[in-house]
Structure 1
Amino acid sequence: MDTIFAQATAPGRAGVAVIRVSGPEATRACRDLCGDLPQSHLASLRTLRDVDGSVLDRGVVVYFPAGRSFTGEDVVEFQLHGSIAVVNAVNARLAAMEGTRPALPGEFTRRALDNDRMTLPEVEALADLIDSETELQRRQAQHVMGGALESAALRWRSALVEAGALVAVTIDFADEEVPVDVSPQVRDLLTGVLRDLKAEIDGFGAVERLRGGYEVAILGAPNAGKSSLLNAIARRQVALTSEIAGTTRDVIEVRVDLGGLPVTLLDTAGLRETEDRIERAGIELARARARSADLRVFLSDDGIFPSEAGEDDLLLRSKSDLHGARGISATTGEGIEELLETIRARLVSLLPGVGLAIRERHRDAMAGAATELHMALNAIDSADHTELVSHHISLACRALDELMGRVDVEDLLDTIFSSFCIGK
């Protein structure tokens, strides 16, 4: 297998840059650069030299032997000064060595998977952790990355194996009298697993929204203060404002972190009847985006709201600094913090808690297992059911193996690792 290398820190000028090397030639590469190999897991100061003996840099070198590293292979990390020139020089030196090459995106993590240092759900959670923008996204990713999904899947599989063993006893003694009817025990085991799977499947939609983020649409008549509110929340001018009705014609999006929730606020075209073809198209786009949003906020400066505003929408008087009524003001900031807290509370109510199924692949595998368990439970009630029950339990176990990435996932790996950055 090739020895791979890459910069593990973000490219560009920085205080420190880390270059990671993994593979059978990692220790030789370290000796060629530094003259010797540091003691395992001990940060050591070394001088890195080019082929002609000239100094490339002076930095910290750490060696992780095979079996005790992230990838499971020999790994050496060079912690260098974060100069673009230094990184380029060391990378060029590594590229010139025999048996080494630049890493592909996610290749270090893929080797960790191949060497049983990580499970596939942990790899997927790591990708989510790297992409996390908010505290709740981080917690969700850490929950799965910490092995929660694996523990649950092993518990479910253990229960199914026990149920399958009980059914097998019935099959083995088909020609003899079995002293105890095992059907109630089998039913209890299958029902318990099915209940857990259904809870995860039912909560997937909300968990998926947490991963991808929520959308909140701000709607109202022209000049109701929608763009001004968006600018006030963003604390910068992201939307053009004027007294001319119809200024906003496209949907303007601003991403914010509301107490750990990733939320995209949508500033939409003012709702009114118009002969302007472009403005009318903008209004239709506003209505379409609002229909798919998780929450809608209607603004009105005169207290009159459009008929399409529903009981689940937030209705607010805007420009409270001008008319004196209780509401919000983008000019003074009145009511904005309360509005954001209300939005957050409404969105949190959509969350069932941190779930284990964070990818559609997880949900599909769980749904497949649940289907087989339904069929197994139905078969228990029928005559001559034992072989059929055993068959469906076996298929449910296979679905859980797919969930853990043990079977039928090879075609997914390239897609999964393509989302990783180089050096991870």
Structure 2
Amino acid sequence: MHDTIFALSTVLGKSGVAVIRISGPQARAVAKLIGYEKELEHKRATLATIYTLNREQVLDEVILLFFASPHSFNGEDILEIHLHGSIAIINDVLAELSKVTFLRIAEPGEFTKIAFYNGKMDLVKAEGLADFLDAETSMQKIIAQKQLRGELSDTYNKWRTDLIGVLSQLEALIDFPEDDIPEEVLDWAAKTVQSLIEEINLHLRGHDQGVSIMNGINIVISGAPNVGKSSLMNLLAKKEIAIVSDIAGTTRDVIQVKLDLGGFAVLLSDTAGIREANDLIEKEGIRRAKQAIKEADINIIVLNSVADFISHLDNFSDAEVIWMINKVDLMSRQDVASSINLLTEKLAEFNREDEVGAISTVSGYGIDNF
């Protein structure tokens, strides 16, 4: 017989409603211990007054919701206590439950682990549930929902079925060669395996993108000193994250902020201006900047002029690159268009087809497009 476990299923804090979940073979018995004497019905909400174990004090007026095994989230009997979200009430109820000899506090993720062991969800769905609960942006939620709905499981099960089919045909060809199994079987098997390889490789490439979305897309702003990197970061963050100054070398370290940009989780980094430096601290800042650029998913290179781009060609690896000419508030529209065209042509000479644009962190020109 499994343990009967309990835990607060909502965040500990002031709220309208809090939920305590109890799971295990003696979950139903807990209701009687805290004062509800009637028999609980499956999936029926019941208004009840609950008490301390000695019946000397009212704990709260709650809603009890019971799910009978195996028709529950994790396949066990589950009792949910929906109580008022007062920290004092939550702590008092948890304290009373801790006194029950056959109850113990659930370990992190134990409810989901039980669901996995009871066949209520596979490992992929269990991981999807964890990601779903951790989601902070709409894109993270969408990816986790797909995994939770079983889309990945369906894909993996299809691959498994295809491989078993190939294996059975090949084993038949080996074990019963005298049965004149058509040679076309080998061609079919080879084509099926090749198709699976292509599907899996495509899936892995998409998986890398999914991991970036779930973990946060690493975007680094780089460039020479005083080109407006810190101003751009502050503009995107909508608050003063980095110090903005006309003094070259103000930014000495990698400054980071987490953002939600259009539903995507982003880790945005401002870096030290890259130049030849003698100051030891600035040198270290530049070293860290170059390391951040190498690790970036997207590298935004801010320029004062087209002539600056050459000095940055060796400072990134395989990251997506966006070249941004800043301070266009000091230029005419014709000069802005000419600069974009010229930079595009210069990059083409190096076989690069990166995105190119123009902005002003002062006037806001081009920021929406950016």
Bin the TM-score by the shorter chain: 0.7 to 0.9
Q: Find the aligned partners of 1:282 and 1:32 in 2 and give their Cα distance.
A: 63
* Cα distance in 2 between the residues matched to 1:20 and 1:276: 59
Q: CA deviation at 1:299?
A: 2.0
CA shift, 1:185, in A, is 3.2
Displacement of 1:100 in angstroms is 0.2
The code of the aligned residue for 2:228 comes to G
> Shift of residue 38 of structure 1?
2.9
1:337 aligns with 2:360: no
1:302 Cα deviation after fit = 4.8
Q: 2:50 — aligned with what?
A: 48
Cα 1:105–1:77 change in 2 (3 A) is: same
Partner of residue 62 from structure 2, selected from 59, 69, 72: 59
Q: Which amino acid aligns with 2:326?
A: S
Question: Cα gap change, 1:288/1:23 in structure 2, threshold over 3 Å: closer, same or farther?
Answer: same
Q: 1: CA distance between counterparts of 2:173 and 2:41?
A: 59
Amino acid at match of 1:268: T
Between the aligned partners of 1:141 and 1:166, the Cα distance in structure 2 is 36
Aligned AA for 1:90?
A: V
| Higher RCO (CA 8 Å, separation ≥ 6 residues) | 1
Distance 1:29 1:248, change over 3 A: same
Shift of 1:15: 1.4
- CA offset at residue 25 of structure 1? 1.3
In 1, the alpha carbon distance for the partners of 2:201 and 2:323 equals 36
Measure how far apart 1:331 and its partner are. Answer: 2.9
User: Equivalent residue for 1:107?
Assistant: 110
Cα separation, partners in 2 of 1:4 and 1:188, compared to 1, 3 Å: same
* Offset at residue 56 of structure 1 (A): 0.1
TM-score, normalization by structure 1? 0.75
Work out the percentage of aligned pairs sharing the same amino acid. Answer: 37
SS in 2 for 1:72: coil
Q: How much has 1:246 moved relative to structure 2?
A: 1.4
The question of whether the paired residues in 2 share the 8 Å contact of 1:94 and 1:100 is answered with yes
Residue in structure 1 matched with residue 329 of structure 2 by the alignment? 321
Q: Distance in 2 between matches of 1:80 and 1:23?
A: 20
Residue matched to 2:173: 170
Deviation at 1:178, TM superposition (A): 1.9
Give, in angstroms, the shift of residue 179 of structure 1. Answer: 5.2
Q: What are structure 1's unaligned runs of at least 5 residues? A: 340-424
**Match of 2:27?**
26
Correspondent of 2:231 among 228, 233, 242: 228
Separation in 1, partners of 2:145, 2:186: 39
The aligned amino acid for 1:316 is M
Cα deviation, residue 17, structure 1:
0.7
**Are 1:119 and 2:122 an aligned pair?**
yes
> 1:290 and 2:321 equivalent?
no
Alpha-carbon distance in structure 2 between the residues aligned to 1:25 and 1:163:
48
Q: 1:331 is aligned with what amino acid?
A: V
CA–CA distance in structure 2, aligned partners of residues 238 and 65 of structure 1? 52
Deviation by residue 1:77-135 (Cα, 9 ceiling, x = unmatched) = 11111011111111111111121011111011101111111100111111111222222
Distance 1:226 1:188, change over 3 A: closer
Deviates more, 1:304-313 or 1:260-269: 304-313
Distance 2:112 2:136 in 1: 21
Residue identity opposite 1:72 in structure 2:
G
C-alpha distance in structure 2 between counterparts of 1:315 and 1:64, whole Å? 57
Q: Match for 1:201 among 195, 204, 223?
A: 204
1:253–1:324 Cα change, 3 Å? farther
Partner of 1:89: 92
Show CA shifts across 1:251-281 (max 9, x none): 1112222222222221111122222110111
Give secondary structure in 2 for the equivalent of 1:288. Answer: helix
TM-score normalized by the length of structure 2:
0.85
Q: Which residue does the alignment assign to 2:182?
A: 180
Q: Distance in 1 between matches of 2:173 and 2:247?
A: 80
Q: Deviations over 1:309-368 (max 9, x none)?
A: 3496333232333455644232332222211xxxxxxxxxxxxxxxxxxxxxxxxxxxxx
Say if 1:337 and 1:37 are closer, same or farther in 2 by CA, change over 3 A: farther
Distance change (3 Å), C-alpha of 1:131 and 1:308 = farther
Structure 1 residue 177: Cα displacement: 4.2
Q: For residue 60 of structure 2, what is the amino acid of its counterpart? A: D
Shift of 1:180: 3.0
**Could you tell me how far apart the structure 2 residues matched to 1:172 and 1:282 are?**
67
CA distance in 1 between partners of 2:181 and 2:16 (Å): 73
Q: Which deviates more from structure 2 when the two are superposed, residues 300-309 or residues 69-78?
A: 300-309
**Deviation (angstroms), 1:290:** 1.0
CA distance in 1, matches of 2:166, 2:253: 58
After TM superposition, give the deviation of residue 306 of structure 1 in Å.
4.5
Is the CA contact 2:173–2:181 (under 8 Å) kept in the aligned structure 1?
A: no
Could you say what secondary structure the match of 2:274 adopts?
coil
- Structure 1 pair 215–172 and aligned structure 2 pair: CA distance change class (3 A): closer
Partners of 2:303 and 2:309 within 8 A in 1: no
Structure that is richer in strand per residue: 2
Structure 2 contact 223–312 (Cα < 8 Å) conserved: no
What per-residue deviation string (whole Å, max 9, x for no partner) do you get for residues 229-256 of structure 1? 1111111111112222211101111222
Q: Pick the aligned partner of 1:246 from 243, 246, 249.
A: 249
Inter-CA distance 212–52: structure 2 relative to 1 (3 Å threshold): same
| CA distance in 2 between partners of 1:299 and 1:192 (Å) | 43
1:184 deviates by: 2.8
Distance 1:286 1:42, change over 3 A: same
Cα 1:185/1:226, change in 2 over 3 Å: closer
- How far residue 5 of structure 1 moved from its aligned partner, in angstroms, is 0.5
**1:139 maps to which of 131, 138, 142:** 142
Secondary structure of the structure 2 residue equivalent to 1:265: strand
SS of residue paired to 1:97 = coil
CA separation in 2, counterparts of 1:7 and 1:315? 49
Count residues in correspondence. 338
Which one of the candidate residues 208, 213, 227 is aligned to 1:210? 213
Gaps of 5+ in 2: 337-357
Matched, 1:274 2:277: yes
Which shows bigger deviation, 60-69 or 148-157? 148-157
